[in-house]
Structure 1
Amino acid sequence: MRSSLIIMLKGFIIGSSMSVPGVSGGTMAILLGIYDKLISSISNFLKDIKGNTIFLVKFCLGAGVGIGSLAFVIQWLLEKFPFMVSFFFLGAVIGGIPALYVKTKEKKFGISSFIYFALGLGIVISIGFIPIGNLDIASGSGTLYYLMMLVTGIIIALALVLPGISTSHMLLVLGMYDSMLAAITNFDLVYVGILGVSTLIGVFLITKPLEYLMNHFPHQTYCMIIGFVIGSTSEIFSEKIIPAIPDYATLTWWIPSLLMAVAALVLGYIAILSLSKFSND
């Protein structure tokens, strides 16, 4: 029972935090110590159908409740208190890094570690610079249109599985964000169904090689993942923290804001450090 509650709690936190800019579901799964188990359950689903199904159902129940409830609260808090909430999540990222680095199986941060870390960091930051709207595959018809939707689903799966990559940003780049929202609100089951099935196919295609890399090349893979995770925080700064600073901020604004930001950062650090101890990996 305790194990089941922890799995659902982590799913709840991951689902609710997905509305935060720069915090992908993969990032939170990594920080909470459940990422490896999720990848393994999907990648090796047929090896233990009953056990993997039970685990995934528990996780999805928690994530579904999180998306449907606390996500709106977090979004409201981000709009009202962007400075403090954003620093809370920055603290959560910092708190999860030590446990994540242990998975690299390296005692010291050497030159090779830095190279793979820089590569992961560069990939995530560069994705953020991809112009939005240059591609538009949301319109059209015929076989090619549905084929492109299948490709889109696989790209979405990549964003869902890899930590640090924003799914919403990838949808914007592909010109699919507005059409996806419209399809959900208009109950376009064909559109959502094709995209959902293709995303599911993409998840199964990606998890197997990812699990192989994590098991056979843990140093390189986890150093890159650390880069992904830290790089994802750039969106928190650009979307929430910097816009929250008044144009003519005075000491009366800076002093209390910084004090509360530091307190939120420490709280986020302690929270993720505590939760990551209950690892399901």
Structure 2
Amino acid sequence: MKPSLFAGNALRGMLIGTAEVIPGVSGGTVALIVGVYDHIINGISHLVRAVGFLLRGKPKDAGKQFRKIKFTILLPILFGMILAILTTASILEPLLVAEPEIVRAAFAGMLIASLYVPLRLIGKSFRSIHLAILILGAIAAFWLTSLPNAGLDSPVAWQIVLFAGLAVCALVLPGVSGSFFLLAVGMYGPTIAAVNNRDLGYLGLFVIGAIIGLLSFAMVMKWFLDNYRALTLSLMIGLMIGSLRALWPWQDDYREPLGITDPTGPVIALLLGAGVVALTIGLERYLRSRSTQ
């Protein structure tokens, strides 16, 4: 592989990895922007088929599927993602401690702006049934994030594996942030801390969950997107809207909402966060229009 190709794909991976760490910014959306979304999804698909053939005792068929995976593209992307996650996590953790209101407001702005992506994907096919699903998803997410002590400040092994598997589905569904999902269930802080502290036990369980997610949940999500696209996107939009409760800037240690105090900083952060995502979406549309000319 040419060094320039490796560097280019590693840079793409760094952009995706940075997005995966920031709640409200979708790694799947960034993968679309930098032109590697299809490579990632197809690679997952071929990997799942290869594992299936191996389990059925068909190594030749498994080998054919492995050879279809574009490792020269995906491995540099993976390298860049890991590098970006380690770097970005070290920056975000102290900010979450020092300026929680500012950070939550910025994340909320990013999430609000990113709602445009799944809404655009639904487009004119939006019907009353989709609105009903959206509302149900919003109610469910709002209720879940309203539960007392809902945050998983000290998640046990099965929780780490399960929620890591669900969060990694964000790579399959542009517009949905995996790190925001972790934030909504209270696992974002512990996960960022585990990355910075090199907690190999926690990270090992997280990687296991992510692999399971790629081999199962992500493929299930892809099937729903292929067969019930608008319904699935409507549910995701509802979940995103309802989960905004977890990003109310002013809240106590138990995630209970507090009254507004000095809104200037959080409002500016919210607008800046929304602006970052809006610029990202605008760049995606521009690149797509250029590629079709």
The AA in structure 2 aligned to 1:88 is A
Q: Deviations over 1:25-66 (max 9, x none)?
A: xx6224435496444431333446454434432332232122
- Provide the alpha-carbon RMSD of the alignment: 4.3
* CA displacement, residues 102-123 of structure 1 (integer Å, 9 cap, x when unaligned): 222x316432221121233234
Shift of 1:6: 6.1
Structure 1, unaligned stretches of length 5 or more? Answer: 18-22, 139-148
Q: Given residue 99 of structure 1, which amino acid in structure 2 is its aligned partner?
A: V
Post-superposition Cα deviations, 1:127-148, rounded to whole Å, max 9, x if no partner, equal 33455599x995xxxxxxxxxx
Higher RCO (CA < 8 A, seq sep 6+)? 1
Structure 2: runs of 5 or more not aligned = 51-64, 171-175
What is the rounded CA distance, in whole Å, between the counterparts of 2:204 and 2:279 in structure 1? 37
User: Which residue is equivalent to 1:157?
Assistant: 165
Q: What is the aligned counterpart of 1:270 among 273, 278, 282?
A: 278
Correspondences of 1:28-47 after superposition (within 5 Å)? 28-32=26-30, 34=32, 37=38, 38-45=40-47, 46=50, 47=65
Question: How far apart, in 2, do the equivalents of 1:118 and 1:127 lie?
Answer: 14
Residue 196 of structure 1 and its aligned partner are, at CA, apart by: 3.9
User: Is the 8 Å Cα contact of residues 9 and 62 (structure 1) preserved in structure 2?
Assistant: yes
**What letter is aligned with 1:43?**
S
Query: Structure 1 residue aligned with 2:181, among 155, 163, 166?
Result: 166
Q: In the alignment, is the contact (CA less than 8 A) between 1:125 and 1:232 conserved in 2?
A: yes
**Aligned amino acid, residue 166 of structure 1:** F
| Count of matched residue pairs | 247
Distance 1:194 1:248 in 2: 38
Alignment match of 2:119 (pick from 69, 77, 101): 101
Select the residue among 98, 118, 127 that pairs with 2:144: 127
Q: Residues 124 and 209 of structure 1: is their aligned pair in 2 closer, same or farther, counting only changes over 3 Å?
A: same
TM-score, with structure 2 as normaliser: 0.63
Matches of 2:186 and 2:104, distance apart in 1? 23
Indicate conservation of the 8 Å contact 2:164/2:206, yes or no: no
Aligned partner of 2:247 among 223, 236, 241: 236
Cα pair distance change 1:12/1:112, threshold 3 Å: same
TM-score, scaled to structure 1: 0.65
CA contact (8 A) 2:109 2:269 kept: no
2:17 equivalent in structure 1: 12
Q: 1:71–1:126: structure 2 CA closer, same or farther, 3 Å change rule?
A: same
Distance 1:44 1:125, change over 3 A: farther
Residue aligning to 1:70: 88
Q: 1:40 to 1:259 in 2, by over 3 A?
A: same
Counterparts of 1:77 and 1:151 in 2: how far apart (Å)?
25
Report if aligned partners of 1:156, 1:170 keep a CA contact under 8 Å in 2.
Answer: no
Distance 1:233 1:58, change over 3 A: farther
Question: Are the equivalent residues in 2 in contact too, given 1:159–1:170 (CA < 8 A)?
Answer: no
Percent identity (aligned): 14
Counterpart Cα distance in 2 of 1:152 and 1:79: 22
